[in-house]
Amino acid sequence: MKTTKVLVIDDEPLVRRSTHRLLTDEGYEVLTAETAAEGAHLFEANRPHVVILDVKLPDGSGLDVLQNLRRIDPGVQVVMITAFGETQTAVRAMKLGATDFLKKPYDLEEMRHAVRNAAKSRARDAQLKVYRKRDRARYARSQMIGRCPGMQHVRELARKVARSDATNVLVTGESGTGKELVARAIHFESGRRNAPLMEINCSGFQESLLENELFGHERGAYTGANYLKRGLVELCDEGTLFLDEVAEMPLSVQAKLLRFMDHQTFRRVGGNVDLSVDIRVVAATNADLERRIEEGRFRQDLFFRLKVVSIHLPPLRDRGDDVLELAAFFLDRLSQGFGKDFRTIDLEASRLLRRYAWPGNVRELENLLERVVLLEQGPVLRAKHLPPGIRGPAEAPSNDRAEGSFPEDSRAWFTRFGVMLNPAPDDSPMSLREFSDAYIRFVLAECDGNRTRTARRLGLSRQGLIDRLRRMERRRSDLQPVVGPHA
């Protein structure tokens, strides 16, 4: 592992010696400089990861040096130190990119902690660059799988939001529908993609801790606050803040969040200086916020502030054949991850997946397929691989063909979303019209002849389906009707 390099620029020999001894004992590679010019030369030659920089230097201002270092290496972490402790100087240093600010005489433990945090920030920033590059592809809008009208609308809204200057977005939908994926797609397709995406689950923190996570705290703000902490709001400047389960946010924190969203300024806990940032807030919830407002558990003004753009994710049970497309996507990805050879889903398994209500939505489907791929062998996912809750009660075998299903003379076999339908010994090619007619009959049978549900699954209007069925009947007038009982 590469040793962290630290450069100390200070005109006081005692400070240089004591800091050199302290950090060398901690395992850092330490360089020291007495002047701004010497420090600049050492920085250019050695490119340290962390710089400890005095505000007052014999040949210039430490703030000017800070700006120059950041121009050379935007990722450098700079800890400013001064004997003057001026608040305005500290604020300006932070705006120029300083990581921390220590006042002389500082405690050695403070310095140790400041450098340790700075080194971690440097490593974290480098890793974030790797993650961002990977996530741009992984969380692009194209990864929001689904052809149903509801998901097409979600993709279009996400595209418009990502390309616009809209600040705040509210994503709603049941648990497991993919609200986090929408937030990530918006971020990584927007002009903010190179800045951080910070995420926080608002239900996972106590009231005081949530405020601390969001806005940070000043050193000495409370007992045990021995160092300055920057909150997520500050860390994701020019990026995106994703507030998951925002309905669970305590009212007191809601008030502070509202103030921040109104002005894009905030104060750290224990601070008396307003700090400015430019971020987009994407909030998500599976709760009914309007009911929470009526119950006095959520601020109406915050609701309107969050709901500049609203995106609602439909539950999986209402997305028709999207469940099969999602299943094929997960099956392929998980097979590669586990070194398995699953390639397709047979007819009975696809029927069961399509019939199930999926109370846990897409997350439940992904978890189920992960278990199947891990425990079973391919290449075909069969009904027997699915848990009893999906298969339902056992049915007696029957030789009767359901009305509306494939006729005995149906030719060939075909695949939709990786689902094998009605394999037949005759492998002659099927025309596009035959393919389409056969699939409509299949979906109609799956919906027990209900035209309204069939039309919804096929993405057609009810009248459009009726017209299509009439044309099919005219073409197949010599066969039995393909339409079963309907509601």
Per-residue pLDDT of the chain (487 residues; tens, 9 = 90+): 468 899 999 999 998 999 999 999 999 999 999 999 999 999 988 989 999 999 889 998 889 999 999 888 888 899 988 776 566 777 788 888 888 888 878 888 889 888 988 888 887 776 666 555 555 545 554 568 888 999 999 999 999 999 987 779 999 999 999 999 999 999 988 999 888 899 999 988 888 899 999 999 988 888 888 888 889 999 999 999 999 999 999 999 999 999 999 988 999 988 888 899 999 999 999 999 999 999 999 999 999 999 999 999 999 999 999 999 999 999 999 999 999 999 899 999 999 999 999 999 999 999 999 999 999 988 999 999 999 888 875 443 333 333 333 433 333 334 444 444 444 444 445 566 666 777 788 778 777 788 888 877 776 777 778 878 888 877 666 444 444 444 3
Domain CATH number, residue 301: 3.40.50.300
306: in domain: yes
d(Cα 324, Cα 317) in Å, to the nearest integer? 12
472: in domain: no
397: in domain: no
**Is the CB of residue 15 less than 8 Å from the CB of residue 23?**
no
Q: Are residues 158 and 279 in the same domain?
A: yes
Tally of structural domains, the chain: 3
pTM of the model: 0.60
Token pair recorded at residue 21? 């001894």
Nearest-10 Cα torsion for 297, 300, 302, 307: 120
d(Cα 4, Cα 16) in Å, to the nearest integer? 18
Domain CATH number, residue 81: 3.40.50.2300
List Cβ neighbours of 225 (8 Å cut-off, separation of 6 or more): 217, 218, 219, 270
Q: Are residues 238 and 156 in the same domain?
A: yes
Using only C-alpha atoms, the chain has a radius of gyration, in whole angstroms, of 30
Q: Are residues 328 and 372 in the same domain?
A: yes
Token pair recorded at residue 45? 């030659």
3-state secondary structure of 95: helix
Q: Are residues 324 and 345 in the same domain?
A: yes
Hey, which bits of 278-431 come out as E strands?
280-285, 309-312, 344-345, 380-381, 414-416, 419-421
Q: Which residue range(s) make up the domain with 95?
A: 5-129
Number of neighbours of residue 358 by Cβ within 10 angstroms: 23
| Domain edge (last residue) among 314, 344, 367 | 314
Minimal CA–CA distance to 180: which of 322, 286, 268?
286
Q: Are residues 202 and 154 in the same domain?
A: yes
Q: Are residues 237 and 378 in the same domain?
A: no
Q: Are residues 102 and 247 in the same domain?
A: no
| Domain edge (last residue) among 314, 331, 365 | 314
List Cβ neighbours of 50 (8 Å cut-off, separation of 6 or more): 4, 5, 6, 7, 28, 76, 77, 78, 79, 99, 115, 118, 119, 122
181: in domain: yes
406: in domain: no
Structure-token match 């703000």, residue found = 221
238: in domain: yes
Domain CATH number, residue 379: 1.10.8.60
Q: Are residues 170 and 285 in the same domain?
A: yes
Q: Angle 62-67-70 (CA atoms, 0-180°, nearest 5)?
A: 120
Q: Angle 311-453-442 (CA atoms, 0-180°, nearest 5)?
A: 120
Q: Are residues 260 and 294 in the same domain?
A: yes
d(Cα 226, Cα 211) in Å, to the nearest integer? 17
275: in domain: yes
Query: Which residues on adjacent β-strands are paired with residue 61?
Result: 56
Q: Are residues 240 and 204 in the same domain?
A: yes
Q: Are residues 227 and 310 in the same domain?
A: yes
| Domain edge (last residue) among 297, 314, 331 | 314
298: in domain: yes
Q: Are residues 305 and 322 in the same domain?
A: no
